[in-house]
Amino acid sequence: MDNILRSPVLRWRTAASLMLIFVLLLTGGAAARDRKKKDKKMDPNKGTIILAGLVHAPVKDTGGSEIADGIGGVVGAKVELVGTGLVTETDRNGMFYFTKGPEGPVTVVISKEGYRTETRQATIEKGGGMPENLRVEMLPDGVQFVGKTPTGMGTVYVAFSPRVVEESNPHTHWDKNLHTVRAAIAAGADPLTLEGNRAQPITDPKQTNNNPTTGADRTIMIYPPKSPSRTGFHNTNAAPYWLCFDASGDTLYVANSARQVQVLDAANGNRVIHNLPVQMNGFVTDLKLSGDGKYIMAAVMAASPGVMMIDTQTRQPAAYLSVDGVGTMSPTAVATSKEGSRVYVVLDGQMGQGGQGLLAVLDAYSGMTQGTAKVGSKPTGLAISNDGRTAYVVNSAAGNVTVVDTASMQPLGLLAVGVAPQKCALTPDGKYLLVTNKGSGSVSVIDALSNRVVNTVSVGQGPTDVKISPDGTRAYVSNREDGTISVIDMSTFNAIYVTDAMPRCSPIGVAVRP
């Protein structure tokens, strides 16, 4: 025996065996303790299910499964029966189950970081029976509902106004006004082309579900890009033209045909807060948020042309900046520098000044005109670079963009774009400028660092306004003649999706909720 124990190999084996027995005893005790702890955490595969549910969100949760268009299962949400200590969590499909719980009414709390906590009441039937099934929609932080449409950062709002049938255009659209239709046919339009707006084909296989349409002709479309089928509408009395959010995204400003700027509470069902009459009894031709976020600026076409400054805190007019010495010229676009101290206004000279357009810069506080620069014919759009050193003015009649040095207010050159360009937008990083070409059915992409056109994207007919998502990944274009919205992938500069056309109205202004 002593010889056996003296053997190094046998001694090692004996020690290993004793260690293994010790580990088994230790882990067995730990497992028993874990089983006790997990008694209150449900295993859906063990026992009879007495309560179940589905937790979903308006958009697909990362790592989860898509239940339906616009509905994604929320993975890993904590589900608790209040006062019982019983807890489980949702699986990859957003489902949860309980196999234990007190009989009678219970309170169920569902929570997950990045989502609003939801509370529901349920009943666990005595003696088993058919378990109650809950269906809970969790809203990501910052998302609200307008009707059944989820809206939050990145949701696209579009102003739709009654379509004007062009009697000489053989590709005009349907209008229920019989007199207008007869006039269009008499002018040579093909009756077969009058049945309605036609949507463009969808090229993104991930977005195969169409958006709802409306028979209203004065409405604001609320379009969630990740859930087109959950698109909603906010109908208005006056025709909406231009839209702009404040910096928080909670207040939407709408310039309309009633010579008003309507203020809507976007965080509470688009409740009307104010109807602000446009100063000087004029019409608004553009709405922009100032670079510092303090004002909504409205370019006003009136006897005294200028800019209506609306305080975003009080949601009331704070000042009217008149543009002096411009005669009958009409403001068509407005923008500010990042710090908001300088207000830039584009003026159309078609009614005077020999058709020459003008860019004027005003002091945001005193209203004094600090300088002007001549631009092209019939200017319609304006953007200011992120560093405030460069202004881009879209010249519709000239088919180009004037680049202006804002320090000297001297033109630096012209960039040729498409036919009848309208509006423009800079990407959040300031690298690219997008310009809509109404006559070409396209969007020109300008490299703002080198000041050259690097791409042209085909969209629908009559592209008018363009806005870019806060993350810079998507651009949204209103196709006025098609009655559609085109979506551009900014990583490839391809049009990847287009909404279904509205039968009675055309899109004009676009705003993306920040």
pLDDT per residue as tens digits for the range 433-486: 999 999 999 999 999 999 999 999 999 999 999 999 999 999 999 999 999 999
Residue 57 lies in a domain: yes
Residue 157: pLDDT over 80: yes
Q: Are residues 24 and 56 in the same domain?
A: no
Residues 25 and 59 in one domain: no
Say if residues 223 and 502 touch (Cβ distance below 8 Å).
Answer: no
Is residue 364 in some structural domain? no
CATH, residue 94: 2.60.40.1120
- What pLDDT sits at residue 60? 61
- Segment among 32-46, 108-122, 288-302, 393-407 with least mean pLDDT: 32-46
43 — pLDDT class (breaks 50, 70, 90): low
Two tokens at 117?
């906590």
Each residue's pLDDT tens digit, 321-344 = 999 877 778 999 999 988 999 999
For the four alpha carbons of 271, 277, 278 and 282, in that order, the dihedral sign comes to positive
The last residue of one of the domains, among 111, 141, 171, is: 141
Asked if residue 74 and residue 12 are part of one domain, the reply reads: no
Neighbours of 90 (CB within 10 A): 26
90 lies in some domain:
yes
Domain containing 83 equals: 51-141
Q: Which residues contact 507 (CB under 8 A, 6 or more apart)?
A: 158, 159, 160, 221, 464, 465, 478, 479, 480, 483, 484, 485
Q: In this structure, is residue 80 part of a structural domain?
A: yes
Question: 86 and 131 share a domain?
Answer: yes
Look at residue 475 and tell me if it is in a domain. no
How many domains does the chain divide into?
2
Query: Is 427 among the domain residues?
Result: no
Nearest to 323 by CA among 295, 302, 292, 353: 302
Q: Is residue 457 part of a domain?
A: no
Question: What is the b/e burial string over 199-233, where b = at least 16 CB atoms within 10 angstroms of the residue's CB?
Answer: bbebeeeebeeebebbebbbbbbbbbbbbbebbbb
Give the amino acid at 346.
V
On whether residue 104 sits in a domain, the answer given is: yes
Helix or strand or coil: residue 241? strand
User: Does one domain contain both 135 and 69?
Assistant: yes
- Beta strands 144-146 and 71-73, pairing class: unpaired
Residue 441 and residue 429 in contact, taking contact as beta carbons nearer than 8 Å: no
Q: What is the pLDDT of residues 350-385, one digit of tens each?
A: 654 446 899 999 999 999 999 999 999 999 999 999
Instruction: Quickly tell me which residue has 């009678």 as its tokens.
Output: 104
Same domain membership, residue 92 and residue 55:
yes
Same domain flag for 13 and 60: no
